[in-house]
Structure 1
Amino acid sequence: MVAKVIVNPVAGAKSTEQKWPHISRLMRDMGFSYDFQYTESQGHAIEIARDAALNGYPYLVAVGGDGTINEVVNGILTASHDQKTLMGVVDTGTGNDFVRSLGLDGNYLHSCQHLLSPKHTLVDAGLVTFQKDGRQVSRFFVNGAGVGFDAEVAATTEHMPKALGGTIPFVMALAKTLLGYRNKTVDIGLDEDNYTRRVLSVIVANGSYFGGGMKVAPSALITDSRFDVITLGDVNKLEILQTFPKIYKGTHITHPKVKTEHARFVSISSEEGLYLQADGELLGKTPATFEVLPQALTMVF
């Protein structure tokens, strides 16, 4: 079996290009048979993955960060929904939240060793439909999505230096966003139930980790065919600062203004279009819907 390895050379603050020779040698020494291709621009991994899946590659491997993983997932699921294409991950990014949600340690050398694992696990994905440039657009995601403050932070993070890693830019962007952000009134649909709430953020979680290691949705499982929906309610700035350190351990969910619910279908709208992020990438604005796709991907790890 020959795999297609999709390498994002600029992932991990452009460190992946330096890591790739070591990774490729390790793969060869393991007896891992593969072709590889570098991505050349944003969105290119979607094209490579889609073409590889359509051309019969049985196994695709993403070498990069959460954004690269998201693009490869979109390529696979755009090509087919029959779960026949295997997917592996070698995490060389700055955040590495998806591999944490898989239960891996974030060490790219260890990830290489998992590529030949006999363990194949069916994991869920999500499909988000949102507004961008005046039109309705859809995108797959695997780790999670969010509306409100976290998406505003994602927008700010895009302008932060990646060389600082995943957590530091996120915290810097969070602090900058916090200064001017105001909580929003949103209409939320959770399957057949509908609510109007004043919120800081609404997180639609497939996996547990966000923002470079924050355990935002501690009970989320990527195999349970449902989202964990975390509503961060009408908290003030002091409450945010007091609660923020707890997010890394997942103990923020005990706060009385933090609510955890479950749903297979989620809708979020507001009088004003709110920023939306998925897998850490800023996508567009609300209104948006989120649909869980049970057992959509076959992961090797």
Structure 2
Amino acid sequence: MRAVLVVNPKATTTSERSRDVLVRALRSEVDLTVAYTRRRGHAMALAAAAAADGVDLVVTLGGDGTVNEVVNGLLAGEVPGAVESPPPADRLPALAVVPGGSTNVFARALGLPREWPESTSVILEALREGRHRTIGLGRADDRYFTFCAGFGLDAAVVHRVEKARHRGRKSTPALYLRATLGQYFLASDRRHPAIALERPGERTEGALATVIIQNTAPWTYLGDREINPNPQASFDLGLDVMAFRQLRVPSTARTVTQILSRNAEPNGPQVLRLHDLDEFTLVSARPQAFQLDGDYLGEREKVRFTCVRAALRVIC
């Protein structure tokens, strides 16, 4: 089996020594080539080249941003909306994810251990046994995502956190909390919801303040704790949506409390929840922050979302 290991050398939880250990372990099972990313977007190019070269497996060592780039590289040659047989998962290289970032939502949502040595052991065992899982992905306009997207407040929070990390701050739950409170109270237009959600054959849901989209559950993690606005979201189904109709303090505090609770699902008149969607479009009267898989992608006024079923084989 031919494999390419795509390494983000800035991955926060690994060292050069641990990367050497990983390479030796993988080489015990596969014919391995190692490629290091040098800039943003480079992992996408490396994965696209690996797919074009006909390798059997692409392994990532990095965080969710590295995984997202590799996934988009693997599917770069696919035609959106095309009805093809076999599906992409049966034609493209398989993906294995070794967690090397600060949160590693995608790897953990697949059931892999949080630490890279334990995850590597699971991946090696799966390779020996020929074990894999086929998953669906989300697509936002021309870009795929693995676990989540955001339009509005949560994407603006991601942007704040990214700017803080560029200033040398470490990614921690406390940093996200401060960024959320700062964005909510100081930088959000909470009185004038501007987003509409449009679905084919359904009435438009208007006057939405912010929208969270999930391709799986959980949405993210707070340390070891799952954060789950849409607990029924699944790699095996379409996309799930939770939107706030208003961002007033009382209703927002109630909904956030429900999200953080282990036993309550968000509900109430200020919450819109939709399950297992194949397609929808978000349109805003003013530009909104936009993120995919925790990566801020700027501001948009319109984004079309689709579910891509049977998109990828994952070793786990």
TM-score range, shorter chain: 0.7 to 0.9
**Amino acid of the structure 1 residue aligned with 2:189:** R
The structure with the larger Rg is 2
Instruction: Determine whether 1:199 maps to 2:208.
Output: yes
- 1:163 and 1:5 map into 2 onto residues whose CA distance is 28
Q: How far does the alpha carbon of each residue in 1:9-62 deviate from its partner, in whole angstroms, 9 at most, with x for none? A: 11227x45463123223334x534311111000000000000011011110011
- Percent identity over the alignment is 26
- 2:292 and 2:285 map into 1 onto residues whose CA distance is 21
Query: SS of the counterpart of 2:75?
Result: helix
Q: How far does the alpha carbon of each residue in 1:133-162 deviate from its partner, in whole angstroms, 9 at most, with x for none? A: xxxxx2111112110111111111111237
- 2:138 and 2:247 map into 1 onto residues whose CA distance is 28
Instruction: Determine whether 1:90 maps to 2:104.
Output: no
- 1:276 and 1:16 map into 2 onto residues whose CA distance is 32
The match for 1:149 is: 153
Q: How far does the alpha carbon of each residue in 1:165-199 deviate from its partner, in whole angstroms, 9 at most, with x for none? A: 45333222212211221232211013422324333
**Amino acid of the structure 1 residue aligned with 2:194:** T
- 2:157 and 2:189 map into 1 onto residues whose CA distance is 13
CA contact (8 A) 1:187 1:194 kept: no
Instruction: Determine whether 1:296 maps to 2:314.
Output: no
Q: How many residues align?
A: 290
The match for 1:272 is: 286
The match for 2:176 is: 170
Query: SS of the counterpart of 1:274?
Result: strand
Q: How far does the alpha carbon of each residue in 1:262-298 deviate from its partner, in whole angstroms, 9 at most, with x for none? A: 2110100111121111111111312110011001111
Query: SS of the counterpart of 2:203?
Result: strand
Query: SS of the counterpart of 2:163?
Result: coil
Aligned pairs (5 A) from 1:238-249: 238-249=250-261
Q: How far does the alpha carbon of each residue in 1:72-106 deviate from its partner, in whole angstroms, 9 at most, with x for none? A: 00000003573231111001111211122212232
The match for 1:219 is: 232
- 1:166 and 1:248 map into 2 onto residues whose CA distance is 17
Aligned pairs (5 A) from 1:114-193: 114-116=122-124, 117=126, 118-129=130-141, 138-161=142-165, 164-180=170-186, 181-183=188-190, 184-193=193-202
Q: How far does the alpha carbon of each residue in 1:243-265 deviate from its partner, in whole angstroms, 9 at most, with x for none? A: 43543455563331333212110
TM-score, normalised relative to structure 2 = 0.84
- 1:104 and 1:115 map into 2 onto residues whose CA distance is 9
Residues 1:237 and 1:16: Cα distance change in structure 2 (over 3 Å): farther
Query: SS of the counterpart of 2:265?
Result: helix
Q: Which moved more, 1:19-28 or 1:228-237?
A: 19-28
- 1:107 and 1:71 map into 2 onto residues whose CA distance is 21
CA contact (8 A) 1:244 1:252 kept: no
**Amino acid of the structure 1 residue aligned with 2:134:** L
CA contact (8 A) 2:285 2:301 kept: no
CA contact (8 A) 1:124 1:294 kept: yes
Q: Which moved more, 1:69-78 or 1:2-11?
A: 2-11
**Amino acid of the structure 2 residue aligned with 1:197:** G
**Amino acid of the structure 2 residue aligned with 1:234:** Q
What's the C-alpha RMSD, in Å, of the aligned pairs?
A: 2.2
- 1:188 and 1:199 map into 2 onto residues whose CA distance is 8
Q: Which moved more, 1:193-202 or 1:256-265?
A: 193-202
Query: SS of the counterpart of 1:26?
Result: helix
Instruction: Determine whether 1:228 maps to 2:257.
Output: no
**Amino acid of the structure 2 residue aligned with 1:66:** D
- 2:24 and 2:257 map into 1 onto residues whose CA distance is 40
**Amino acid of the structure 2 residue aligned with 1:147:** F
CA contact (8 A) 1:217 1:228 kept: yes
Instruction: Determine whether 1:260 maps to 2:273.
Output: yes
Unaligned runs of 5+ in 2: 79-86
Aligned pairs (5 A) from 1:24-43: 24-28=23-27, 30-43=28-41
- 2:16 and 2:207 map into 1 onto residues whose CA distance is 44
The match for 1:132 is: none
Cα offset, 1:203, TM superposition: 1.4
Query: SS of the counterpart of 2:243?
Result: strand
Query: SS of the counterpart of 1:72?
Result: helix
The match for 1:135 is: none
